[in-house]
Amino acid sequence: MAAITEAERATRRLPHMSGAVARAWRIVGHHKSIVIGLGIVLFVFFIAVCAPLLAPYSPIKGQPLDRLKDIGAAGHILGADQQGRDVLSRLMYGARSSLVIAVVPLTIAGCVGLLLGSFAAYAGGVADTLIMRSMDVVFGLPPILLAIAVSATLGPGLLNLVISMTIVLLPPMTRVTHQVVAQLKEAAFVEAAKVAGASSQQIVFGQILPNSLAPVLAYGTSLAGAMVVFGAGISFIGLGIQPPEADWGRMINDGREVLDLHPHVSTLPGLAIFVLASGFNFIGDGLRDLLDPRMRI
Amino acid sequence: MDAHVERKTFLSVRGLKTHFHTRHGVAKSVDGVDFHISKGERLGLIGESGSGKSVTALSIMRLVREPPGKIQGEIEFEGQDLVKLDQTGMRHIRGGRISMVFQDPLNHLDPVMKVGDWIAEALLLHRDLDRKEALTEAARMMKALKIASPEDVMRAYPFQLSGGMCQRVLIATAIVTEPALIICDEATSALDVTVQASILRSLTELTSLYGTALLLTTHNMLVVRQACTRVMVMYAGRMVESCDTDALFRQPMHPYTVGLLNSVPSLERVGQPLVPMPGEPPLPTEEIRGCAFYARCPIRRAACQERRPPLAEVAPGHWSACLFSEEARSKDTF
């Protein structure tokens, strides 16, 4: 047997590399932003779900002796707040409401908006005008004022916060769907489906919805990050999650009074909000790039 | 028309008028058109942009948006009048009995559907098959269209395919239901000449294999010459000439057709300069009195302005809407 050079050996090893691992690696390389975003969001999701197992202390009961311990103190890696509650534990439990606020209102508003928007765009005429103009009325109000008004009317609490944010999100989601569907309605392949003998119903479920799902999803995801900040803001002013429940926006408010001497009480939840919001934004950006036909490989 | 032709005719269009009521007046895109297609016949419909050939094709499929469009006249297809047929009835006709292939093939395929599924779905709309059988049929059709490795193509998304390949897929979609008629609306205009020729070849082969008739609208004389047995020339919403393809190229009887032929390069006239036609066709909203071609005609007379010349049989099987057809046929008119 002739001696095999190092280079030849390397090329022979390549086919093994081009298996599942190499392919996964290539996908990660092409869609870095989605992978990073997904990593962050899944990490937060894992912590939120496993909070009771992972958290070293109760998020609600404080130990008066541990009041305002700083970062790195014994027993409290991330310190404690004025009531002696462990900040790390509260951050872990607080992830729950932040995730709910980011995902649930968007999902509900997305589904309803998809139905309303596509119906309005496909039906046209009076139905279109009625649905879209009433959405415009809601859309005309500044979202933060609208959310505050709805939350103040319904009262505080997670459920009411979700309701008020759904109302805020419905007009933009409907409008985006409407725009996408109105465009698709005129698409050549929709006419081709009609020419092939498909009924309106078959076209809506066969062509319009599958083609509108991706852009609507990308838009929705890009809003999720903003919703994390938005929801925390409502809780911050006292209209969302109520004490003693752990919530990131609420925690920032709690630490406000000791910001000068013990900044970690406010800063850490702020940082958590920033990280989770960035995670969602990364996914949103990545999805948008992925959907851009010019970016297709 | 003799009895023999009458028997094989399955589509007769009589007095078709498709008008659009717009803010700028009534656009008479198709203004009184009569023709018929027999089984297995390949008919070319030629004309400039705006001559009404595409609207004629869309009217047969009832794809004209109503309103503002309005279709009048009779489109008798296999014993039914398509003008009066309801939407449910039309759905069975579309794709099932009459298929259509468009220009711009890439945009006429669903971007999120694999092309194999697209063909299969079209078949499933009209036949009682399961998915697997439909996919087998689709693959068989693609083989018949001489597509190399049809299995790979069927798994591809439209954006992964070339324009010519997409057009083959659309043709496969059109023909897989074995319709009586395929309408090709400028189907090869967006493709380069070699692809165009090869697609026309497979189209004529397949349609003669299945006995499918073909209605080909185009502005390209050479496409008609390659693919069609009979040809109709449209101008300003009406037919101006109708005859066998050979007769048209040998002996055109309408000055407009003569002008069209003189403005196209041809191997038979090497060395002779191309003669462009002066002027522009009238706007569809314009009120036309007399011959629509009057302003651009080299042999016009006062008589041409009196009324619109009707289509008359000037030679056996050769119809022309010119009062002075004999004069037009001498090729030196331009």
Domains and CATH numbers, chain A: 30-295 (1.10.3720.10)
Partner-chain contact B104 A193, CB within 8 Å: no
DSSP B29: E
Residues A214, A277 contacting (CB under 8 angstroms) = no
DSSP A4: P
Whose CA is closest to A159, among A240, A243, A225, A103? A240
Stretches where chain A sits below pLDDT 50 are: 1-4, 10-15, 296-297
What pLDDT does residue A58 have?
86
Contacts of A28 (CB under 8 A, 6+ apart): A35
Residue B69: strand pairing partners: B20
Inter-axis angle of helices A264-291 and A209-236, nearest 10: 170
Cβ contact B63–A198 (<8 Å): no
Structure tokens that stand for A203 in this block: 């076209």
Amino acid identity for residue A21 in this structure = V
- Residue matched to tokens 């007046």: B25
Q: Do B94 and A210 touch (CB under 8 A)?
A: no
How many Cβ atoms are within 10 Å of B288's Cβ, its own excluded?
A: 17
Nearest to B204 by CA among B34, B70, B40: B40
The residue with greater pLDDT, A105 or B23, is A105
Residue B101 pairs in a beta bridge with: B184
**Strand-pair category, B213-218 with B42-46:** parallel
Q: Do B109 and A202 touch (CB under 8 A)?
A: no
What is the pLDDT, as a whole number, of residue B68? 85
**Would the pLDDT of B3 be above 50?**
no
Q: Which of B113, B175, B177 to mutate to test the interface with A (most CBs of A within 10 A)?
A: B113
> Which amino acid, one-letter code, is at A5?
T
A197 shares contact with chain B (CB less than 8 Å): yes
Q: Which DSSP symbol is given to A80?
A: B
C-alpha A172: how far from its chain's center?
15
B56: exposed, middle or buried (Cβ count in 10 Å: 0-12, 13-18, 19+): buried
Using the structure block, give the residue that is written with the tokens 């959405």. A135
pLDDT-based confidence at residue B334 (cuts at 50, 70, 90)? very low
Query: CA-to-CA distance for A258 and A245, rounded, in angstroms?
Result: 20
Q: Which of A195, A200, A297 to mutate to test the interface with B (most CBs of B within 10 A)?
A: A195
pTM over 0.80: no
Taking the CA of residue B59 and the nearest CA in chain A, the distance in Å comes to 12
What pLDDT, on a 0 to 100 scale, did the predictor assign at position A293?
Answer: 55
Q: Does the ipTM surpass 0.90? A: no
Find, in chain B, the residue whose alpha carbon is nearest to that of A195: B94
CA distance B92 to A195: 10
- Give pLDDT tens digits for B71-107: 888 888 888 888 888 888 888 888 888 999 988 888 8
User: What count of other Cβ atoms lies within 10 Å of the Cβ of residue A30?
Assistant: 14
CB atoms within 10 A of CB A205: 11
Which residues are within 8 A (CB) of B302 and not within 5 positions of it... i.e. 6 or more apart?
none
Average pLDDT over chain B, rounded to an integer? 84
Chain A, chain B: beta-carbon pairs less than 8 Å apart? 61
